[in-house]
């Protein structure tokens, strides 16, 4: 079977052009609002694109939601400000932007600097010295770490200008990527279109935990649209402003991140690119997942389990395993609270693209929503036997505090109760030796004097019947559009027409992805054959097999070419009233079967009960017809 490298389309850009032209011409996707000139970063999926997406999502549900008994939810896209304030998106979901000083056109500052460095390095600009090349490589390595000021300095130092006009650029400043809106007509209730689906799951944690019988671990899942007002969308479907995310939040006890099903994936071997290899300039290497976890390269079994399951998901869909790697986040890429993060990256004509992020986000999200909402998002572990534990007990004496601080009494009480063990024990020692201590109350923004009579601090032995804790969350987050685009590139190849004067396009989609499972053609236009074609169509519908019927008078070769371009695995040609041929897309080999058997043959093969090879043996005398 042809692959990208043996197809005659060798050049990356030309290859991409061929794929994208086919996709747009056959309505897999098209720019949205095209008749009005389109809008960058917005795309419509046409009929085959919708079918491919539905197939990918159906398989996602089967592979993750069904297999792991996940709790699926479906939450609104419009989200009130307080939720995204708690999650940190209102303050921190920003990219640094620069503006063309004259036209006002906007660019992502880090992208301009990245493009500049890459171009200099890739073109092997003879004017740059070895030192300069090392410097540019260093800039690329620390790009994600640069502050607005540092980025601005580099842009000035390298004299980077607006790519379209060559005008000077403004200093970089943060731009929040969320689309803002207001909920209801008053304009008083600010909201945003969600930038990810995860927050909907976190805010429902308490109810989901109860639904799960107050048991951990469990996972919740959500498929839905996410919205990001990208500064300069580029690379087609890869960076868009509205896209489908499929996210899993797997809640687990932070003290036990083992996974009972890890042995099912531990023998898998695939390309892994740990932090150390990236930093020391070594390539990604085929690694056994079990070893990566036992050596501590991957932080824990549950994270490892999901890495393995993501690998199986992507390769089953048709992603080439040699162009798939799992790259660990560098220290500077990872949020401060994250325990470990790995991206499933797929190589396509745009380079290595992050398609799935798999992160151990520790207890950050649930804690943030607990703090903001006041609703404890926690789990309980009941002990078989009560356990004795030493507990710090801080009891503010409200009467004395009230006399001393009047209206500030409540804030002082809360601050005393919130002291860490270390602070409390230091205060206890000071109160015992000096009788009073100076104490800063952040919420009042002032320091007050606490006397011995105002608080008792002691350590007591208490019996505990349960442990209360905030679960950690392990989050695999799938960019469905990115996966689908990479799948298009990995499935695409060209082959010469019969005459050899043109290249025919083919998508070799696996059966589960193929937008349509078979086409039905009467060989020539006559009523008898059309009746047979309709009868077959009727049987295919009854069997639940998607099909397309083509009764145009075009040559059979042209009709095969059209169906190959949509990636349809089987073409049924009606050339008699009793039996027909079924042709397989990639080998072009045909078998002859009775009309009444067509639907069951196609169903068996597309649903995986039999293989095409089984059918070749059953219906012998396979042949490639003259007309191809
Ligand atoms: P993030 O929350 O930024 O890690 O994104 C989660 C996943 O969403 C990524 O792994 C990508 O596959 C996908 N993604 C992020 N931004 C975009 C975008 N602008 N267009 C399409 N997919 C995206």
Report the nearest atom of ligand 1 relative to the CA of 196: 2
Residue 484 in contact with ligand 1 by CB distance below 6 A: no
**What is the distance in A from the centroid of ligand 1 to the CA of 488?**
18
pLDDT digits (tens, 9 = 90+) for 52-96: 999 999 999 999 999 999 999 999 999 999 999 999 999 999 999
Residue 444 pLDDT = 84
Residue with the smallest CA separation from ligand 1 atom 1 is: 357
Residue 4 pLDDT = 42
**What is the distance in A from the centroid of ligand 1 to the CA of 224?**
13
Nearest by Cα to 568 from 523, 605, 517, 617: 517
Provide the token pair at 549. 């019927």
Please report, for residues 57, 275, 284, 289, 299, the alpha-carbon distance to residue 293 in angstroms, rounded to integers and kept in the order given: 29, 14, 16, 6, 7
**What is the distance in A from the centroid of ligand 1 to the CA of 228?**
9
Residue 24 has pLDDT above 60, yes or no: yes
Residue 479 in contact with ligand 1 by CB distance below 6 A: yes
**Within its chain, how far is the Cα of 464 from the centroid?**
41
β-pairing verdict for 518-522 and 547-549:
parallel
Residue 324 pLDDT = 98
Three-state SS string across 88-126, please? Answer: CHHHHCEEEEEEECCCCCEEEHHHHHHHHHHHHHHCCCC
Residue with the smallest CA separation from ligand 1 atom 19 is: 239
pLDDT digits (tens, 9 = 90+) for 508-556: 999 999 999 999 999 988 899 999 999 999 999 999 999 999 888 788 8
Which pLDDT band holds residue 627 (cuts at 50, 70, 90)?
A: low
pLDDT digits (tens, 9 = 90+) for 329-371: 988 788 888 999 999 999 999 999 999 999 999 999 999 999 9
Report the nearest atom of ligand 1 relative to the CA of 230: 19
Strand partners, 574: 522
Provide the token pair at 145. 């770490």
**Least confident segment among 287-296, 316-325, 496-505, 617-626:** 617-626
pLDDT digits (tens, 9 = 90+) for 230-286: 998 989 999 999 999 999 999 999 999 999 999 999 999 999 999 999 888 899 999
What percent of the chain has pLDDT above 90? Answer: 80
Residue 244 in contact with ligand 1 by CB distance below 6 A: no
Residue 329 in contact with ligand 1 by CB distance below 6 A: no
Average pLDDT, the chain: 92
Report the nearest atom of ligand 1 relative to the CA of 355: 12
Provide the token pair at 426. 């230091």
Alpha helices in 228-342 (DSSP H): 275-279, 289-294, 301-317
**What is the distance in A from the centroid of ligand 1 to the CA of 479?**
5
CA–CA gap between residue 400 and residue 397 (Å, rounded): 6
Residue 481 in contact with ligand 1 by CB distance below 6 A: yes
Residue 125 pLDDT = 62
Q: b vs e for 369-407, b when ≥16 Cβ sit within 10 Å of the residue's Cβ?
A: bbeeeeeebbbeeeeeeeeeeeeeebebbeebbbebbee
**Across 190-206, average pLDDT:** 97
Residue 246 in contact with ligand 1 by CB distance below 6 A: no
Quick check: helix, strand or coil at residue 167?
Answer: coil
């Amino acid at each position: 079977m042809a692959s990208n490298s043996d197809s005659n389309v060798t050049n990356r850009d030309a290859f991409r052009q061929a794929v994208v032209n086919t996709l747009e011409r056959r309505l897999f996707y098209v720019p949205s609002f095209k008749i009005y000139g389109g809008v960058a970063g917005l795309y419509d999926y046409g009929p085959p694109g919708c079918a491919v997406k539905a197939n990918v999502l159906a398989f996602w549900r089967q592979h993750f939601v069904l297999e792991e008994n996940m709790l699926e939810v479906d939450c609104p896209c419009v989200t009130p400000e307080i939720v995204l304030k708690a999650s940190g998106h209102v303050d921190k979901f920003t990219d640094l932007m620069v503006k063309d000083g004259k036209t006002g056109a906007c660019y992502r500052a880090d992208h301009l600097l990245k493009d500049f460095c890459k171009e200099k390095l890739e073109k092997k600009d003879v004017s740059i010295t070895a030192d300069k090349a090392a410097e540019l490589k260093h800039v690329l390595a620390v790009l994600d770490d640069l502050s607005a000021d540092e980025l601005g300095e580099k842009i000035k130092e390298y004299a980077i200008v607006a790519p379209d006009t060559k005008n000077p650029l403004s200093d970089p400043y943060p731009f929040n990527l969320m689309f803002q809106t207001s909920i209801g007509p008053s304009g008083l209730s600010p909201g945003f279109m969600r930038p990810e689906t995860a927050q909907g799951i976190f805010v429902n944690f308490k109810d989901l935990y109860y639904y799960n019988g107050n048991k951990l671990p469990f996972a919740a899942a959500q498929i839905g649209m996410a919205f990001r007002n990208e500064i300069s969308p580029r690379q087609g479907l890869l960076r868009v402003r509205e896209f489908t995310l499929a996210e899993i939040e797997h809640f687990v006890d932070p003290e036990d991140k083992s996974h009972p099903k890890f042995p099912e994936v531990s023998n898998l071997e695939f390309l892994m690119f740990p932090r150390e290899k990236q930093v020391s300039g070594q390539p990604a290497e085929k690694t056994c997942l079990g070893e990566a976890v036992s050596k501590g390269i991957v932080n824990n079994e549950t994270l490892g389990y999901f890495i393995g399951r993501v690998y199986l998901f992507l390769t089953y869909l048709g992603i080439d395993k040699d162009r798939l790697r799992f790259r660990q986040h560098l220290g500077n890429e990872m949020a401060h609270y994250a325990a470990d993060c790995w991206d499933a990256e797929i190589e396509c004509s745009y380079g290595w693209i992050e398609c799935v992020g798999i992160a151990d986000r520790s207890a950050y999200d649930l804690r943030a929503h607990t703090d903001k909402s006041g609703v404890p998002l926690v789990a309980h572990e009941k002990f078989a036997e009560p356990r004795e534990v030493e507990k710090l007990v801080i009891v503010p004496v409200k009467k004395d505090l009230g006399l001393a601080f009047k209206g500030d009494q409540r804030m002082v009480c809360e601050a005393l109760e919130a002291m860490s063990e270390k602070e409390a024990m230091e205060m206890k020692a000071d109160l015992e030796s000096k009788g009073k201590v100076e104490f800063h109350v952040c919420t009042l923004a002032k320091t007050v004097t606490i006397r011995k009579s105002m608080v008792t601090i002691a350590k007591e032995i208490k019996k505990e019947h349960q442990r209360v804790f905030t679960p950690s969350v392990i989050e695999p987050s799938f960019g469905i559009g990115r996966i689908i685009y990479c799948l298009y590139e990995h499935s695409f190849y060209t082959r010469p027409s019969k005459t050899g004067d043109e290249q025919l396009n083919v998508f070799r989609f696996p059966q589960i992805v193929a937008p349509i499972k078979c086409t039905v053609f009467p060989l020539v236009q006559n009523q008898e054959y059309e009746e047979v074609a309709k009868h077959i169509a009727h049987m295919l519908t009854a069997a639940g097999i998607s099909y397309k019927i083509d009764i145009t008078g075009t040559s059979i070769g042209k009709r095969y070419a059209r169906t190959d371009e949509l990636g349809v695995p089987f073409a049924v040609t009606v050339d008699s009233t009793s039996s027909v041929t079924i042709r397989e897309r990639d080998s072009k080999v045909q078998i002859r079967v009775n009309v009444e058997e067509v639907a069951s043959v196609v169903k068996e093969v597309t649903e995986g009960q039999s293989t095409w090879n089984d059918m070749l043996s059953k219906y012998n005398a396979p042949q490639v017809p003259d007309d191809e």
